[in-house]
Structure 1
């Protein structure tokens, strides 16, 4: 049986209001002896305050929604990068006294419904396309603060946190070009004229321009960001691009699959093809060869996102622009100068 305030009050011989005041630190009119007796009985009985009751009293749910795309009715579209972000967001919210509610969204029309149905204090959007984030102007009409991670949308309702994707891809291309590579494949999902992959493509191309190297010989492979698709690309890479000496993959999980597929095709990495990823997931340092990649500040991204959102929850002003976090090149063993074949 759950121990209630009434149980504690009866055992201590005081009113329910007195017990409530002791629990909430409002004990100015309560004697020291009574405070100690109430606290002792609370410890003995193992009383745990009701989260719902405290939320109702404070007019807050203490719930923050984390909304992610659902690939179908049966699965969520969560990349390894986003899984790492989710873990850090939950940790940060827990330290701030909030609870995380993970919700898959198969259709963006569900976002407004989710905000209303669950009485969320705020929500984080993770993994949505920028056109979907922009569309929220028509859906989010209430006072619930919403923040987007890794978004380039100009929707002021979702001003959030992202990495410097342009600079990251430019650093990757500069690294490969400095090693002597010229036939470099850009591999990533399809993209429009706005978004994370588009920014990485622009940054990659910028490195060619700054090095006065023609970008015409840089093929683009459109491939979804999964390990399986990376393996498939690796198996056929040199059949499709026989002169390729390097690949920049827009995500580590894609790069790791690519290395596996190249190995299955009898192609050495980096002896024949160099590979660079983007994210710096933990697994990047465990595979063979260890992956050269662009490191994102995943902890910082989650921390700043939570802090920004809770500022809005507390009634603070919405930031005027996105917060852009620095990235860096991590050089490991998957890149080398092109072979002299």
Structure 2
């Protein structure tokens, strides 16, 4: 049976309030002997404080929701990049004494339900389109503090943190151009006039303008998955026979493209150079190792949690999103064209 606060108090011969104070670190008015006795009984009986009771006392749930899009009722849209973000966010929240609640969102109305029905102290939006974040209202959000990762939404209800997507794609295109490539395919999901992929496309084009070159449009739409990349790689050289390089907006997409190219008899980088974005761990495990744009995922998660908890605790926070630097990691998947 679960050991209660009353059980500890009865055995120690003190009030429940005294036990509660000792367990919660409020020990100024408790004698060292009593503290030692209570701690010994707590350890022997295996007492674990009730999280719900603590929440009621503190008027805080210590729960942070992580909301991610769900394609349907059965699956969450979590890319390898987002998986890495989730792990880092949980770690940072745990260090701060908070708990993470993962919730898939299949329809817009579910955002308000998730924010309000779980007594959340705050929530992180991960993987949502900017237009979806734009539609969030004060009524839907309530008093829950919100933070959006990798968002370009101007919604004043959210603060945020993101990587420098424009500069990342600029560095990627510069690298390929400096190697001598001119026929370069841009591969990524479809995009609107705002958002992560839009910024990467703008940075990619800017590199051509900077070099005084015109980019012959080779824009290929592909979902950010390995399967989509593999399919694209298999048909890439038949649809773009003069292409010598591909810039993919995500590592997992780039790795799929490399596999599809290999299956159709093309070699990376001898026939086609491939460059990704993220610098996930797996980019250094594939053959050839993937040249990519590195973003600092642990730092992104740490700043996201710092901003969110600061908002929850009433501290001042930046009005504008924080943008983190990126850098080119040159490996074996890019080389000069034949």
Interval containing the TM-score (normalised by the shorter chain): over 0.9
1:113-132, Cα deviation, whole Å (9 max, x unpaired): 11110000000000000000
State the Cα distance separating 1:32 from its structure 2 match.
Answer: 2.2
Instruction: Note if contact 1:312-1:318 (Cα within 8 Å) is conserved in structure 2.
Output: yes
Tell me the residue number matched to 1:311: 310
State the Cα distance separating 1:139 from its structure 2 match.
Answer: 4.7
State the Cα distance separating 1:163 from its structure 2 match.
Answer: 0.3
RMSD: 1.0
Instruction: Note if contact 2:116-2:141 (Cα within 8 Å) is conserved in structure 1.
Output: no
Scaled by the length of structure 1, the TM-score of the pair is 0.97
Report the Cα distance in structure 1 between the residues aligned to 2:12 and 2:104, rounded to whole angstroms.
Answer: 46
Tell me the residue number matched to 2:49: 49
State the Cα distance separating 1:28 from its structure 2 match.
Answer: 3.0
Report the Cα distance in structure 2 between the residues aligned to 1:89 and 1:31, rounded to whole angstroms.
Answer: 39
Tell me the residue number matched to 1:137: 137
Instruction: Note if contact 1:225-1:254 (Cα within 8 Å) is conserved in structure 2.
Output: yes
Tell me the residue number matched to 2:182: 182
1:245-278, Cα deviation, whole Å (9 max, x unpaired): 0000000000000000000000010000000000
1:149 and 2:129 are equivalent in the alignment: no
1:21-67, Cα deviation, whole Å (9 max, x unpaired): 22223333322222221111111111111111011100000000000
1:80 and 2:80 are equivalent in the alignment: yes
Unpaired runs of 5+ residues, structure 1, are none
Map 1:279-290; keep pairs closer than 5 Å: 279-290=278-289
Query: Which shifted more, 34-43 or 135-144?
Result: 135-144
Tell me the residue number matched to 2:202: 202
Report the Cα distance in structure 1 between the residues aligned to 2:92 and 2:207, rounded to whole angstroms.
Answer: 36
State the Cα distance separating 1:172 from its structure 2 match.
Answer: 0.3
Instruction: Note if contact 1:183-1:218 (Cα within 8 Å) is conserved in structure 2.
Output: no
State the Cα distance separating 1:112 from its structure 2 match.
Answer: 1.0
1:292 and 2:295 are equivalent in the alignment: no
Report the Cα distance in structure 1 between the residues aligned to 2:288 and 2:245, rounded to whole angstroms.
Answer: 14
1:321 and 2:316 are equivalent in the alignment: no
Report the Cα distance in structure 1 between the residues aligned to 2:253 and 2:274, rounded to whole angstroms.
Answer: 10
Map 1:138-287; keep pairs closer than 5 Å: 139-215=139-215, 217-287=216-286
Query: Which shifted more, 160-169 or 315-324?
Result: 315-324
Report the Cα distance in structure 1 between the residues aligned to 2:60 and 2:195, rounded to whole angstroms.
Answer: 34
Report the Cα distance in structure 2 between the residues aligned to 1:266 and 1:195, rounded to whole angstroms.
Answer: 35
Q: Secondary structure at the match of 1:125?
A: strand
Size of the alignment, in residue pairs? 338
Instruction: Note if contact 1:109-1:139 (Cα within 8 Å) is conserved in structure 2.
Output: no
Tell me the residue number matched to 1:125: 125
Report the Cα distance in structure 2 between the residues aligned to 1:235 and 1:91, rounded to whole angstroms.
Answer: 39
Instruction: Note if contact 2:67-2:125 (Cα within 8 Å) is conserved in structure 1.
Output: yes
Report the Cα distance in structure 2 between the residues aligned to 1:100 and 1:3, rounded to whole angstroms.
Answer: 25
1:260-310, Cα deviation, whole Å (9 max, x unpaired): 000000001000000000000100001000000000110011000000000
Instruction: Note if contact 1:148-1:161 (Cα within 8 Å) is conserved in structure 2.
Output: yes
Q: Secondary structure at the match of 1:259?
A: helix
Tell me the residue number matched to 2:335: 336
CA gap of 1:82–1:221, structure 2 versus 1, over 3 A, is same
Q: Secondary structure at the match of 1:190?
A: coil
Q: Secondary structure at the match of 1:65?
A: strand
State the Cα distance separating 1:141 from its structure 2 match.
Answer: 4.5
